[in-house]
Amino acid sequence: MAIVKPFKLEDVREALLAAGVEGLTVTEVQGYGRQKGQTEIYRGAEYQVNFTPKVKVEAVVDDGQVESAVEAIRTAATTGRIGDGKIFVLDVESALRIRTGETGLAAL
Amino acid sequence: MVRFGGWRTAALALGAAAAPVAAAWGQSTAPAASTATAFVLNSGDTAWMLASTGLVLMMTIPGLALFYGGMVRKKNVIATVAQSFAMTCVVTLVWFVVSYSIAFGTNADPQQNKWWGGLSNLMLGHVGLDKPYTIAGTAYGVPEYVYMMFQMTFAIITPALICGAFAERFKFSALLLFTVLWSIFVYAPIAHWVWGGGFLGSAGVMDFAGGTVVHINAGVAGLVCALVLGPRKGLGSISMAPNNLVYTMIGASLLWVGWFGFNAGSAVAANSLAGIAMANTQIATAAAAIAWMVVEWVHRRKPTMLGLASGAVAGLVAVTPASGWVEPTGALWIGLAAGSICYCSAVFLKNALKYDDSLDAFGVHGVGGFVGAMLTGVFASAAVQKLPDGHGVLTQLFGCLGTIVWTAVVTFLILMVCKFTTGLRVSEDGEREGLDIVLHGETIHD
Protein backbone atom coordinates (compact mmCIF):
# COMPACT_ATOMS: atom_id res chain seq x y z
CA MET A 1 0.00 0.00 0.00
CA ALA A 2 1.42 3.37 -1.00
CA ILE A 3 0.41 6.95 -0.24
CA VAL A 4 1.66 9.20 -3.01
CA LYS A 5 1.17 12.69 -4.37
CA PRO A 6 -1.89 12.76 -6.68
CA PHE A 7 -0.05 14.02 -9.75
CA LYS A 8 2.33 11.05 -9.47
CA LEU A 9 -0.42 8.49 -9.92
CA GLU A 10 0.07 8.02 -13.64
CA ASP A 11 3.84 7.55 -13.24
CA VAL A 12 3.28 4.98 -10.49
CA ARG A 13 0.72 3.09 -12.55
CA GLU A 14 3.08 2.84 -15.53
CA ALA A 15 6.00 1.79 -13.35
CA LEU A 16 3.97 -0.96 -11.69
CA LEU A 17 2.78 -2.20 -15.09
CA ALA A 18 6.38 -2.40 -16.22
CA ALA A 19 7.19 -4.37 -13.06
CA GLY A 20 4.51 -6.92 -13.86
CA VAL A 21 1.80 -5.70 -11.46
CA GLU A 22 -1.42 -5.71 -13.43
CA GLY A 23 -4.12 -4.78 -10.92
CA LEU A 24 -4.50 -1.75 -8.72
CA THR A 25 -7.01 -0.10 -6.41
CA VAL A 26 -6.80 3.66 -6.09
CA THR A 27 -8.46 5.84 -3.44
CA GLU A 28 -8.40 9.60 -2.98
CA VAL A 29 -7.45 10.35 0.59
CA GLN A 30 -6.32 13.20 2.80
CA GLY A 31 -3.53 13.10 5.25
CA TYR A 32 -0.47 14.70 6.73
CA GLY A 33 2.93 13.65 7.92
CA ARG A 34 5.69 16.14 8.24
CA GLN A 35 4.25 18.14 5.37
CA LYS A 36 1.79 20.57 6.91
CA GLY A 37 -1.31 21.81 5.09
CA GLN A 38 -2.11 25.08 3.37
CA THR A 39 -3.58 28.32 4.69
CA GLU A 40 -6.80 29.48 3.07
CA ILE A 41 -8.20 32.97 3.48
CA TYR A 42 -11.81 34.00 2.91
CA ARG A 43 -12.71 37.64 3.61
CA GLY A 44 -10.40 37.83 6.56
CA ALA A 45 -11.29 34.43 7.99
CA GLU A 46 -8.12 32.35 7.95
CA TYR A 47 -8.33 28.58 7.85
CA GLN A 48 -5.34 26.34 8.45
CA VAL A 49 -6.13 23.28 6.38
CA ASN A 50 -4.32 20.46 8.16
CA PHE A 51 -4.87 17.77 5.59
CA THR A 52 -3.30 17.55 2.16
CA PRO A 53 -4.89 15.56 -0.65
CA LYS A 54 -3.05 12.34 -1.50
CA VAL A 55 -3.72 9.17 -3.46
CA LYS A 56 -3.60 5.71 -1.90
CA VAL A 57 -2.53 2.92 -4.26
CA GLU A 58 -3.08 -0.69 -3.22
CA ALA A 59 -1.80 -3.72 -5.07
CA VAL A 60 -1.64 -7.38 -4.03
CA VAL A 61 1.45 -9.15 -5.38
CA ASP A 62 3.26 -12.45 -5.00
CA ASP A 63 5.94 -12.50 -2.25
CA GLY A 64 8.67 -12.63 -4.87
CA GLN A 65 7.42 -9.48 -6.56
CA VAL A 66 7.27 -7.30 -3.45
CA GLU A 67 10.76 -5.82 -3.73
CA SER A 68 10.49 -4.89 -7.40
CA ALA A 69 7.02 -3.44 -6.90
CA VAL A 70 8.15 -1.32 -3.93
CA GLU A 71 11.19 -0.13 -5.89
CA ALA A 72 9.00 0.72 -8.91
CA ILE A 73 6.64 2.80 -6.79
CA ARG A 74 9.44 4.52 -4.94
CA THR A 75 11.25 5.56 -8.12
CA ALA A 76 8.11 6.73 -9.85
CA ALA A 77 6.61 8.64 -6.91
CA THR A 78 9.65 10.49 -5.69
CA THR A 79 10.08 14.22 -6.28
CA GLY A 80 12.68 14.82 -3.62
CA ARG A 81 10.46 17.35 -1.84
CA ILE A 82 8.58 16.98 1.38
CA GLY A 83 5.23 15.15 1.12
CA ASP A 84 6.31 12.40 -1.30
CA GLY A 85 4.52 9.81 0.83
CA LYS A 86 5.12 6.34 2.24
CA ILE A 87 4.93 2.69 1.23
CA PHE A 88 3.67 0.03 3.63
CA VAL A 89 4.03 -3.68 3.01
CA LEU A 90 1.26 -5.77 4.51
CA ASP A 91 0.64 -9.50 4.63
CA VAL A 92 -2.41 -10.73 2.76
CA GLU A 93 -3.91 -13.96 4.17
CA SER A 94 -5.74 -15.11 1.06
CA ALA A 95 -7.06 -13.96 -2.30
CA LEU A 96 -10.00 -15.10 -4.44
CA ARG A 97 -11.16 -14.23 -7.96
CA ILE A 98 -14.90 -13.70 -7.76
CA ARG A 99 -15.77 -14.69 -11.32
CA THR A 100 -13.99 -18.06 -11.35
CA GLY A 101 -13.46 -18.90 -7.70
CA GLU A 102 -9.69 -19.31 -8.19
CA THR A 103 -7.62 -18.78 -5.06
CA GLY A 104 -4.04 -18.02 -4.21
CA LEU A 105 -1.63 -16.82 -6.87
CA ALA A 106 -4.08 -17.67 -9.65
CA ALA A 107 -6.41 -15.03 -8.24
CA LEU A 108 -3.91 -12.17 -8.77
CA MET B 1 -41.90 85.10 -8.74
CA VAL B 2 -42.86 83.28 -5.57
CA ARG B 3 -40.42 80.58 -4.54
CA PHE B 4 -41.73 77.43 -2.89
CA GLY B 5 -39.62 75.17 -0.75
CA GLY B 6 -39.84 71.41 -0.96
CA TRP B 7 -39.75 68.94 -3.77
CA ARG B 8 -43.36 68.02 -3.23
CA THR B 9 -44.54 71.59 -3.65
CA ALA B 10 -42.65 71.91 -6.91
CA ALA B 11 -44.17 68.68 -8.12
CA LEU B 12 -47.63 69.82 -7.13
CA ALA B 13 -47.12 72.96 -9.19
CA LEU B 14 -46.17 70.76 -12.11
CA GLY B 15 -49.14 68.54 -11.41
CA ALA B 16 -51.48 71.51 -11.30
CA ALA B 17 -50.30 72.54 -14.71
CA ALA B 18 -50.87 69.05 -16.01
CA ALA B 19 -54.11 68.57 -14.07
CA PRO B 20 -56.56 68.63 -16.97
CA VAL B 21 -54.63 65.86 -18.72
CA ALA B 22 -53.99 64.01 -15.46
CA ALA B 23 -57.67 64.04 -14.63
CA ALA B 24 -58.39 62.32 -17.90
CA TRP B 25 -55.87 59.58 -17.03
CA GLY B 26 -57.29 59.21 -13.56
CA GLN B 27 -55.62 58.90 -10.17
CA SER B 28 -55.38 55.81 -8.08
CA THR B 29 -58.66 56.35 -6.21
CA ALA B 30 -60.80 57.04 -9.28
CA PRO B 31 -62.21 54.18 -11.32
CA ALA B 32 -60.44 53.63 -14.61
CA ALA B 33 -62.99 54.79 -17.17
CA SER B 34 -62.46 55.03 -20.88
CA THR B 35 -61.98 58.62 -21.87
CA ALA B 36 -61.52 60.59 -25.02
CA THR B 37 -57.85 61.20 -24.09
CA ALA B 38 -56.31 57.71 -23.97
CA PHE B 39 -53.13 56.95 -22.05
CA VAL B 40 -50.20 57.73 -24.37
CA LEU B 41 -47.74 54.96 -23.83
CA ASN B 42 -44.05 55.44 -24.61
CA SER B 43 -43.14 52.08 -26.08
CA GLY B 44 -39.37 52.60 -25.81
CA ASP B 45 -39.61 53.44 -22.11
CA THR B 46 -42.05 50.62 -21.46
CA ALA B 47 -39.97 48.06 -23.34
CA TRP B 48 -36.91 49.02 -21.33
CA MET B 49 -38.85 48.78 -18.06
CA LEU B 50 -40.16 45.35 -18.97
CA ALA B 51 -36.60 44.23 -19.70
CA SER B 52 -35.26 45.84 -16.52
CA THR B 53 -37.84 43.95 -14.49
CA GLY B 54 -36.50 40.67 -15.87
CA LEU B 55 -32.92 41.74 -15.15
CA VAL B 56 -33.68 42.62 -11.55
CA LEU B 57 -35.58 39.38 -10.96
CA MET B 58 -32.55 37.53 -12.29
CA MET B 59 -30.46 39.29 -9.64
CA THR B 60 -32.26 37.31 -6.96
CA ILE B 61 -32.85 34.08 -8.81
CA PRO B 62 -30.30 32.82 -9.49
CA GLY B 63 -27.87 35.71 -8.92
CA LEU B 64 -28.05 36.17 -5.17
CA ALA B 65 -28.91 32.50 -4.62
CA LEU B 66 -25.63 31.44 -6.21
CA PHE B 67 -23.61 34.29 -4.73
CA TYR B 68 -24.55 33.17 -1.24
CA GLY B 69 -24.85 29.50 -2.16
CA GLY B 70 -21.20 29.29 -3.11
CA MET B 71 -20.04 30.85 0.15
CA VAL B 72 -21.68 28.47 2.63
CA ARG B 73 -20.53 24.97 3.53
CA LYS B 74 -21.66 22.14 1.30
CA LYS B 75 -24.15 20.82 3.83
CA ASN B 76 -26.05 24.12 3.66
CA VAL B 77 -26.02 24.92 -0.07
CA ILE B 78 -29.48 23.66 -0.94
CA ALA B 79 -31.02 25.43 2.05
CA THR B 80 -29.26 28.67 1.11
CA VAL B 81 -30.41 28.76 -2.49
CA ALA B 82 -33.88 27.70 -1.36
CA GLN B 83 -34.07 30.83 0.78
CA SER B 84 -33.73 33.17 -2.21
CA PHE B 85 -36.12 31.11 -4.28
CA ALA B 86 -38.79 30.84 -1.60
CA MET B 87 -38.55 34.51 -0.69
CA THR B 88 -39.12 35.40 -4.35
CA CYS B 89 -42.39 33.50 -4.24
CA VAL B 90 -43.53 34.88 -0.89
CA VAL B 91 -42.75 38.52 -1.60
CA THR B 92 -44.45 38.30 -4.99
CA LEU B 93 -47.74 37.41 -3.37
CA VAL B 94 -47.38 39.80 -0.44
CA TRP B 95 -46.59 42.64 -2.88
CA PHE B 96 -49.63 41.79 -4.93
CA VAL B 97 -51.92 41.61 -1.92
CA VAL B 98 -50.81 44.59 0.17
CA SER B 99 -47.28 45.91 0.12
CA TYR B 100 -47.49 47.54 -3.30
CA SER B 101 -50.36 49.59 -1.97
CA ILE B 102 -48.44 50.59 1.15
CA ALA B 103 -45.34 51.51 -0.84
CA PHE B 104 -46.68 53.17 -3.95
CA GLY B 105 -50.31 53.88 -3.28
CA THR B 106 -51.34 57.49 -2.86
CA ASN B 107 -53.01 57.84 0.48
CA ALA B 108 -56.24 59.82 0.23
CA ASP B 109 -55.15 61.73 3.35
CA PRO B 110 -52.09 63.82 2.46
CA GLN B 111 -50.90 63.80 6.08
CA GLN B 112 -50.97 60.01 6.13
CA ASN B 113 -49.38 59.91 2.70
CA LYS B 114 -46.15 61.13 4.28
CA TRP B 115 -45.94 57.75 6.05
CA TRP B 116 -47.76 55.14 3.97
CA GLY B 117 -49.74 54.76 0.78
CA GLY B 118 -52.88 53.31 2.29
CA LEU B 119 -54.85 50.30 1.14
CA SER B 120 -56.51 51.63 -2.00
CA ASN B 121 -54.40 49.33 -4.17
CA LEU B 122 -55.05 46.21 -2.11
CA MET B 123 -54.96 43.15 -4.41
CA LEU B 124 -53.84 45.62 -7.10
CA GLY B 125 -57.22 47.26 -7.01
CA HIS B 126 -57.52 50.45 -9.06
CA VAL B 127 -54.40 49.53 -11.00
CA GLY B 128 -56.11 49.84 -14.33
CA LEU B 129 -54.78 48.71 -17.65
CA ASP B 130 -54.70 52.11 -19.26
CA LYS B 131 -53.05 54.00 -16.47
CA PRO B 132 -49.54 55.38 -16.48
CA TYR B 133 -47.23 55.22 -13.50
CA THR B 134 -47.79 58.54 -11.78
CA ILE B 135 -45.91 60.04 -8.88
CA ALA B 136 -46.65 63.36 -7.24
CA GLY B 137 -48.78 64.42 -10.16
CA THR B 138 -46.18 63.59 -12.81
CA ALA B 139 -47.13 60.81 -15.18
CA TYR B 140 -44.55 58.65 -16.94
CA GLY B 141 -45.02 56.97 -20.32
CA VAL B 142 -44.93 53.60 -18.60
CA PRO B 143 -48.06 51.72 -17.50
CA GLU B 144 -48.61 51.35 -13.78
CA TYR B 145 -48.65 47.55 -14.12
CA VAL B 146 -45.13 47.60 -15.50
CA TYR B 147 -43.86 49.94 -12.79
CA MET B 148 -45.56 47.79 -10.17
CA MET B 149 -43.75 44.72 -11.49
CA PHE B 150 -40.43 46.56 -11.63
CA GLN B 151 -40.78 47.63 -8.03
CA MET B 152 -41.85 44.11 -7.04
CA THR B 153 -38.44 42.81 -8.05
CA PHE B 154 -36.83 45.35 -5.70
CA ALA B 155 -39.14 44.23 -2.92
CA ILE B 156 -38.04 40.67 -3.63
CA ILE B 157 -34.29 41.16 -3.52
CA THR B 158 -34.19 43.35 -0.42
CA PRO B 159 -35.20 40.74 2.16
CA ALA B 160 -33.21 38.10 0.28
CA LEU B 161 -30.07 40.13 0.99
CA ILE B 162 -30.64 39.70 4.72
CA CYS B 163 -30.07 35.94 4.35
CA GLY B 164 -26.36 36.61 4.31
CA ALA B 165 -26.47 37.62 7.95
CA PHE B 166 -28.22 34.53 9.31
CA ALA B 167 -26.80 31.97 6.92
CA GLU B 168 -26.38 28.36 8.05
CA ARG B 169 -28.60 28.57 11.12
CA PHE B 170 -32.03 30.09 10.40
CA LYS B 171 -35.18 27.95 10.34
CA PHE B 172 -37.07 27.84 7.05
CA SER B 173 -40.45 28.32 8.74
CA ALA B 174 -39.11 31.38 10.53
CA LEU B 175 -37.77 32.67 7.22
CA LEU B 176 -41.18 32.51 5.57
CA LEU B 177 -42.94 34.29 8.42
CA PHE B 178 -40.13 36.83 8.70
CA THR B 179 -40.37 37.59 4.98
CA VAL B 180 -44.11 38.25 5.06
CA LEU B 181 -43.89 40.59 8.05
CA TRP B 182 -40.72 42.33 6.92
CA SER B 183 -42.04 43.04 3.45
CA ILE B 184 -45.19 44.65 4.84
CA PHE B 185 -43.87 46.50 7.88
CA VAL B 186 -40.30 47.41 6.96
CA TYR B 187 -39.75 47.41 3.20
CA ALA B 188 -43.05 48.91 2.03
CA PRO B 189 -43.07 51.89 4.42
CA ILE B 190 -39.44 52.81 3.72
CA ALA B 191 -40.05 52.50 -0.03
CA HIS B 192 -43.00 54.84 0.38
CA TRP B 193 -40.98 57.33 2.40
CA VAL B 194 -38.23 57.63 -0.23
CA TRP B 195 -39.94 56.84 -3.54
CA GLY B 196 -43.67 56.65 -3.01
CA GLY B 197 -44.34 60.26 -2.12
CA GLY B 198 -43.41 60.07 1.53
CA PHE B 199 -41.52 62.40 3.80
CA LEU B 200 -37.94 61.43 2.96
CA GLY B 201 -38.32 61.95 -0.76
CA SER B 202 -40.07 65.25 -0.22
CA ALA B 203 -37.28 66.39 2.08
CA GLY B 204 -34.89 66.07 -0.83
CA VAL B 205 -33.26 62.72 -0.12
CA MET B 206 -31.57 61.52 -3.31
CA ASP B 207 -31.76 57.76 -3.63
CA PHE B 208 -31.84 56.85 -7.28
CA ALA B 209 -32.21 53.08 -7.09
CA GLY B 210 -32.21 52.03 -3.45
CA GLY B 211 -29.12 52.83 -1.38
CA THR B 212 -31.36 53.44 1.61
CA VAL B 213 -34.51 51.52 0.68
CA VAL B 214 -32.66 48.36 -0.28
CA HIS B 215 -29.10 48.25 1.00
CA ILE B 216 -28.94 50.16 4.26
CA ASN B 217 -32.33 48.67 5.03
CA ALA B 218 -31.28 45.05 4.44
CA GLY B 219 -27.82 45.56 5.85
CA VAL B 220 -28.97 46.95 9.18
CA ALA B 221 -31.73 44.36 9.40
CA GLY B 222 -29.03 41.78 8.82
CA LEU B 223 -26.94 43.18 11.65
CA VAL B 224 -29.93 42.97 13.98
CA CYS B 225 -30.53 39.37 12.91
CA ALA B 226 -26.88 38.43 13.44
CA LEU B 227 -26.94 39.96 16.92
CA VAL B 228 -30.24 38.35 17.93
CA LEU B 229 -29.47 34.91 16.52
CA GLY B 230 -25.91 34.70 17.78
CA PRO B 231 -22.96 33.15 16.01
CA ARG B 232 -22.78 29.81 14.24
CA LYS B 233 -21.65 26.95 16.43
CA GLY B 234 -17.95 26.31 16.13
CA LEU B 235 -17.11 29.70 14.67
CA GLY B 236 -13.39 30.26 15.03
CA SER B 237 -12.55 26.62 15.61
CA ILE B 238 -13.98 24.69 12.68
CA SER B 239 -13.62 25.39 9.00
CA MET B 240 -16.45 27.33 7.45
CA ALA B 241 -14.71 27.78 4.14
CA PRO B 242 -16.85 28.39 1.05
CA ASN B 243 -17.86 25.24 -0.77
CA ASN B 244 -17.64 26.59 -4.31
CA LEU B 245 -16.42 30.05 -5.24
CA VAL B 246 -17.32 29.44 -8.86
CA TYR B 247 -21.00 29.62 -7.83
CA THR B 248 -20.17 32.85 -6.04
CA MET B 249 -18.48 34.26 -9.13
CA ILE B 250 -21.43 33.30 -11.32
CA GLY B 251 -23.77 34.86 -8.79
CA ALA B 252 -21.73 38.05 -8.63
CA SER B 253 -21.71 38.25 -12.43
CA LEU B 254 -25.47 37.82 -12.65
CA LEU B 255 -25.83 40.50 -10.00
CA TRP B 256 -23.58 42.85 -11.98
CA VAL B 257 -25.41 42.39 -15.27
CA GLY B 258 -28.79 42.46 -13.58
CA TRP B 259 -27.85 45.66 -11.77
CA PHE B 260 -28.12 47.48 -15.09
CA GLY B 261 -31.84 46.88 -14.76
CA PHE B 262 -31.68 47.90 -11.11
CA ASN B 263 -29.91 51.23 -11.66
CA ALA B 264 -30.47 52.20 -15.28
CA GLY B 265 -34.04 50.93 -15.01
CA SER B 266 -34.65 53.34 -12.16
CA ALA B 267 -34.65 56.13 -14.72
CA VAL B 268 -38.11 54.75 -15.63
CA ALA B 269 -37.29 55.72 -19.20
CA ALA B 270 -35.07 54.65 -22.06
CA ASN B 271 -33.08 57.85 -22.13
CA SER B 272 -29.70 59.38 -21.40
CA LEU B 273 -30.31 59.35 -17.66
CA ALA B 274 -30.53 55.57 -17.93
CA GLY B 275 -27.36 55.67 -19.99
CA ILE B 276 -25.37 57.61 -17.44
CA ALA B 277 -26.76 55.46 -14.65
CA MET B 278 -25.48 52.41 -16.52
CA ALA B 279 -22.08 54.02 -17.06
CA ASN B 280 -21.81 55.04 -13.39
CA THR B 281 -22.76 51.52 -12.36
CA GLN B 282 -20.05 49.94 -14.49
CA ILE B 283 -17.31 52.36 -13.50
CA ALA B 284 -18.00 52.27 -9.77
CA THR B 285 -18.18 48.47 -9.76
CA ALA B 286 -14.91 47.96 -11.55
CA ALA B 287 -13.20 50.56 -9.36
CA ALA B 288 -14.51 48.95 -6.19
CA ALA B 289 -13.43 45.46 -7.22
CA ILE B 290 -9.92 46.69 -7.94
CA ALA B 291 -9.78 48.75 -4.74
CA TRP B 292 -10.79 45.71 -2.66
CA MET B 293 -8.30 43.59 -4.54
CA VAL B 294 -5.45 46.02 -3.88
CA VAL B 295 -6.24 46.38 -0.19
CA GLU B 296 -6.50 42.62 0.17
CA TRP B 297 -3.31 42.04 -1.77
CA VAL B 298 -1.42 44.34 0.56
CA HIS B 299 -3.10 43.01 3.71
CA ARG B 300 -3.09 39.28 2.90
CA ARG B 301 -0.44 39.08 0.21
CA LYS B 302 -2.85 37.38 -2.19
CA PRO B 303 -5.73 38.77 -4.28
CA THR B 304 -8.71 36.42 -4.04
CA MET B 305 -11.64 35.59 -6.27
CA LEU B 306 -13.95 36.13 -3.32
CA GLY B 307 -12.35 39.54 -2.85
CA LEU B 308 -12.92 40.52 -6.47
CA ALA B 309 -16.54 39.43 -6.28
CA SER B 310 -17.11 41.11 -2.94
CA GLY B 311 -15.46 44.33 -4.05
CA ALA B 312 -17.61 44.40 -7.16
CA VAL B 313 -20.77 43.94 -5.12
CA ALA B 314 -19.67 46.67 -2.71
CA GLY B 315 -19.28 49.01 -5.68
CA LEU B 316 -22.67 48.04 -7.06
CA VAL B 317 -24.23 48.72 -3.69
CA ALA B 318 -22.56 52.08 -3.18
CA VAL B 319 -23.33 53.42 -6.65
CA THR B 320 -26.99 52.41 -6.35
CA PRO B 321 -28.24 55.63 -4.74
CA ALA B 322 -25.82 57.73 -6.78
CA SER B 323 -26.20 56.26 -10.26
CA GLY B 324 -28.67 58.82 -11.58
CA TRP B 325 -27.30 61.77 -9.62
CA VAL B 326 -23.52 61.82 -10.13
CA GLU B 327 -21.12 62.13 -13.02
CA PRO B 328 -18.75 59.28 -13.91
CA THR B 329 -15.85 60.81 -12.01
CA GLY B 330 -18.04 60.80 -8.93
CA ALA B 331 -18.85 57.16 -9.61
CA LEU B 332 -15.14 56.40 -9.76
CA TRP B 333 -14.55 57.91 -6.32
CA ILE B 334 -17.59 56.15 -4.94
CA GLY B 335 -16.29 52.83 -6.23
CA LEU B 336 -12.80 53.32 -4.85
CA ALA B 337 -14.20 54.36 -1.47
CA ALA B 338 -16.68 51.49 -1.31
CA GLY B 339 -14.14 48.85 -2.26
CA SER B 340 -11.65 49.89 0.38
CA ILE B 341 -14.08 50.81 3.16
CA CYS B 342 -16.20 47.70 2.75
CA TYR B 343 -13.09 45.52 2.84
CA CYS B 344 -12.46 46.91 6.30
CA SER B 345 -16.05 46.57 7.45
CA ALA B 346 -16.35 43.01 6.14
CA VAL B 347 -12.96 41.85 7.40
CA PHE B 348 -12.30 43.78 10.60
CA LEU B 349 -15.58 44.97 12.04
CA LYS B 350 -17.30 41.69 12.80
CA ASN B 351 -14.16 40.14 14.25
CA ALA B 352 -13.59 43.21 16.39
CA LEU B 353 -17.17 43.48 17.63
CA LYS B 354 -17.66 39.71 17.75
CA TYR B 355 -20.87 39.28 15.76
CA ASP B 356 -21.37 36.64 13.08
CA ASP B 357 -22.65 38.44 10.00
CA SER B 358 -21.84 35.27 8.11
CA LEU B 359 -21.85 36.54 4.55
CA ASP B 360 -21.37 40.23 5.35
CA ALA B 361 -24.86 41.52 4.70
CA PHE B 362 -24.10 44.48 6.97
CA GLY B 363 -20.43 44.76 6.10
CA VAL B 364 -21.11 45.11 2.38
CA HIS B 365 -24.73 46.20 1.98
CA GLY B 366 -25.20 48.22 5.15
CA VAL B 367 -21.87 50.00 5.10
CA GLY B 368 -21.68 50.21 1.30
CA GLY B 369 -25.18 51.63 1.13
CA PHE B 370 -24.31 54.25 3.73
CA VAL B 371 -21.08 55.23 2.00
CA GLY B 372 -22.90 55.51 -1.31
CA ALA B 373 -25.83 57.45 0.10
CA MET B 374 -23.55 59.98 1.79
CA LEU B 375 -21.28 60.35 -1.24
CA THR B 376 -24.36 60.93 -3.37
CA GLY B 377 -24.79 64.09 -1.36
CA VAL B 378 -21.18 65.03 -2.10
CA PHE B 379 -21.03 64.23 -5.80
CA ALA B 380 -24.58 64.95 -6.98
CA SER B 381 -24.48 67.12 -10.05
CA ALA B 382 -27.12 69.30 -11.65
CA ALA B 383 -25.50 68.46 -14.99
CA VAL B 384 -27.05 64.99 -14.65
CA GLN B 385 -30.53 66.01 -13.57
CA LYS B 386 -32.17 68.79 -11.61
CA LEU B 387 -31.36 68.36 -7.94
CA PRO B 388 -34.33 68.29 -5.56
CA ASP B 389 -35.06 71.12 -3.16
CA GLY B 390 -33.44 70.49 0.18
CA HIS B 391 -30.73 68.24 -1.27
CA GLY B 392 -27.40 67.97 0.50
CA VAL B 393 -25.19 65.81 2.64
CA LEU B 394 -27.23 66.47 5.79
CA THR B 395 -30.43 65.53 3.98
CA GLN B 396 -28.78 62.30 2.88
CA LEU B 397 -27.86 61.64 6.51
CA PHE B 398 -31.47 62.28 7.49
CA GLY B 399 -32.56 59.69 4.93
CA CYS B 400 -30.04 57.15 6.20
CA LEU B 401 -30.98 57.66 9.84
CA GLY B 402 -34.70 57.41 9.17
CA THR B 403 -34.12 54.12 7.41
CA ILE B 404 -31.72 52.76 10.01
CA VAL B 405 -33.94 53.50 12.99
CA TRP B 406 -37.11 52.06 11.47
CA THR B 407 -35.53 48.93 10.13
CA ALA B 408 -33.54 48.23 13.29
CA VAL B 409 -36.54 48.55 15.59
CA VAL B 410 -39.15 46.79 13.48
CA THR B 411 -36.81 44.00 12.37
CA PHE B 412 -36.11 43.30 16.02
CA LEU B 413 -39.85 43.15 16.78
CA ILE B 414 -40.45 40.81 13.85
CA LEU B 415 -37.66 38.54 15.07
CA MET B 416 -39.35 38.42 18.46
CA VAL B 417 -42.63 37.41 16.83
CA CYS B 418 -40.82 34.63 15.00
CA LYS B 419 -38.93 33.60 18.12
CA PHE B 420 -42.16 32.96 20.00
CA THR B 421 -44.02 31.30 17.14
CA THR B 422 -41.80 29.38 14.76
CA GLY B 423 -38.55 29.63 16.70
CA LEU B 424 -35.49 31.19 15.08
CA ARG B 425 -32.54 28.80 15.00
CA VAL B 426 -32.24 25.16 14.18
CA SER B 427 -31.03 22.95 17.02
CA GLU B 428 -27.32 22.58 17.67
CA ASP B 429 -27.35 19.04 16.31
CA GLY B 430 -29.27 20.20 13.29
CA GLU B 431 -26.76 22.94 12.63
CA ARG B 432 -23.94 20.45 12.87
CA GLU B 433 -25.61 17.99 10.52
CA GLY B 434 -26.51 20.64 8.00
CA LEU B 435 -29.63 22.56 7.06
CA ASP B 436 -30.02 20.72 3.76
CA ILE B 437 -30.81 17.39 5.34
CA VAL B 438 -32.43 18.70 8.52
CA LEU B 439 -34.76 21.33 7.02
CA HIS B 440 -35.30 19.98 3.53
CA GLY B 441 -34.39 16.30 3.55
CA GLU B 442 -32.09 16.87 0.59
CA THR B 443 -28.35 16.50 0.01
CA ILE B 444 -25.82 17.27 -2.66
CA HIS B 445 -24.55 13.99 -4.07
CA ASP B 446 -21.14 14.30 -5.70
Per-residue pLDDT band at B14 (split at 50, 70, 90): very low
Residues A40, B241: C-beta atoms closer than 8 Å: yes
Option in A41, A44, A47 nearest B351 (CB): A44
Summarize pLDDT for B193-237 with one digit per residue, the tens.
Answer: 999 999 999 999 999 999 999 999 999 999 999 999 999 999 988
Query: Residue range B166-195: average pLDDT?
Result: 98
Amino acid identity, position A53 = P
Q: What are B314-331's pLDDT values in tens digits? A: 999 999 999 999 999 999
Residues A44, B307: C-beta atoms closer than 8 Å: no
Q: What percent of chain B has pLDDT over 70?
A: 91
- Per the model's pLDDT, the better-predicted residue between B23 and A60 turns out to be A60
User: Residue B3 pLDDT more than 70?
Assistant: no
- Stretch B121-150: mean pLDDT, rounded? 89
pLDDT band at A92 (very low <50, low <70, confident <90, very high): very high
pLDDT of residue B135: 81
Q: What is the count of residue pairs from A and B with beta carbons less than 8 Å apart?
A: 25
Query: Does B2 score more than 70 pLDDT?
Result: no
- Helical pair B172-182 and B393-419, crossing angle rounded to 10 deg: 140
User: Is the bond into B231 cis (omega within 30 degrees of 0)?
Assistant: no
For residue B375, pLDDT over 60 is answered with yes
As to burial, measured by CB atoms within 10 angstroms (0-12 exposed, 13-18 middle, 19+ buried), residue A63 is exposed
Residue A51 to chain B, least CA–CA distance (Å)? 12
Confidence of residue B39 (pLDDT cuts 50, 70, 90): confident
Q: Give the per-residue pLDDT at B139.
A: 85
Contact, A65 vs A19, CB < 8 A? yes
**Structural domains of chain B, with CATH:** 42-440 (1.10.3430.10)
**Residues of chain A contacting B351 with CB distance shorter than 8 Å:** 44
Q: Which residues of B touch A41 (CB under 8 A)?
A: 300, 302, 304
Residue A49: CB atoms within 10 A of its CB come to: 15
pLDDT of residue B149: 97
pLDDT value at residue B38: 61
Residue B35, pLDDT > 70, answer no
- pLDDT, tens only, B418-434: 999 999 999 999 999 99
Give, in words, the CATH class of A2-107. Answer: alpha beta
Q: Per-residue pLDDT tens for B95-130?
A: 999 999 999 999 999 999 999 999 999 999 999 888
Helix (H) or strand (E) holding A57: strand A52-58
Where is average pLDDT lowest: A47-61, B9-23, B68-82, B331-345? B9-23
ipTM for the complex shown: 0.71
The answer on pLDDT for B6 being more than 60 is no
Mean pLDDT taken over chain B: 91
Over 80: is that where the pLDDT of B11 sits?
Answer: no
Evaluated on CA atoms B324, B154, B152, B207, the torsion sign reads negative
pTM score, two decimals? 0.87
Q: Nearest-5° angle of CA B226, CA B227, CA B233?
A: 65
CA gyration radius for chain A? Answer: 17
Identify the pLDDT of residue B134: 85
pLDDT of residue B15: 39
